[in-house]
Amino acid sequence: MNSTVNSAAQSADGGAPTRIAVVTGAGSGIGRAVARLFLAEGWGVVLAGRRAAALEETAAGSPQALVAPCDVTVPDDVARLFAAARERFGRVDVLFNNAGIFGPSGAVDAVDAAGFEETLRINVTGSFLCAAEAVRVMKEQEPQGGRIINNGSISAHSPRPLSVAYTVSKHAISGLTKSIELDGRPFGISCGQIDIGNTRTEIMDVIGVGDGALQADGSRKVEPMFPVEDAARAVLLMASMPPSASVGSLLVTAAGMPFVGRG
């Protein structure tokens, strides 16, 4: 991981940012929207992702941004990511564990093992590695504590057809979230999960939401979507809660999408 540091981190009013967030998958989609909103709100933000150019585009020259290219599946990369965050900002208050892929489409007898394992490696192992480093930092810093927000999916509740790899990975995120929340209590570390349905990002093209997503009865239906900026506001809400409150789960979907009653 090679870090590209922008100019001195300052809040919008010229002072140093008082809250620091690490956002993975910050080069596109939900991660980009969240990083930009946090920056606009005066946070110091560490932007992590595999594509340096995309991260620089997200940062847009903000003096509060630290651009840190990182592969979340590589332990040494993740360790350097959080070391860079501490060196630049002194602490980490929030980790938004967002990096992930949809993975191969297919039923359990159609998805090959390599595709399944890659989905778990990125979505689950990557989130595990980032959470582990975040917890280490949050335990050591003064004042102690912080918040981890894992990006789940409505697939953590109910799967789409032919999405076994993605669905399994997001169910695993739910277990990761609850375990971190439990084990983090003595150290002032809380962990919650946001499950988002049909926000307008690139992944919606992958699953065909705009042209007609496959339904449980075999039909295809054009499903409603909502702006990714609104999803980012929900993440900011979770991140901005006081340490005395823990948001364990937040479900946000496009109004009218076929989730309640899916199947």
Q: How far apart are CA 8 and CA 65, in angstroms?
A: 9
| Six token digits for residue 36 | 């930009």
Write down the catalytic residue from 89, 96, 166, 226.
166
From 96, 89, 97, select the one nearest 42 (Cα to Cα): 89
Helix (H) or strand (E) holding 169: helix 164-184
Q: How far apart are CA 120 and CA 123, in angstroms?
A: 5
Q: 160 and 105 in contact (C-beta within 8 Å)?
A: no
Q: Is 18 a catalytic residue?
A: no
Q: 49 and 25 in contact (C-beta within 8 Å)?
A: yes
Q: How far apart are CA 241 and CA 126, in angstroms?
A: 25
Q: How far apart are CA 227 and CA 244, in angstroms?
A: 30
Which distant-in-sequence residues (6+ apart) come within 8 Å of 249 by Cβ? 177, 192, 193, 194, 195
User: What residues act catalytically?
Assistant: 166
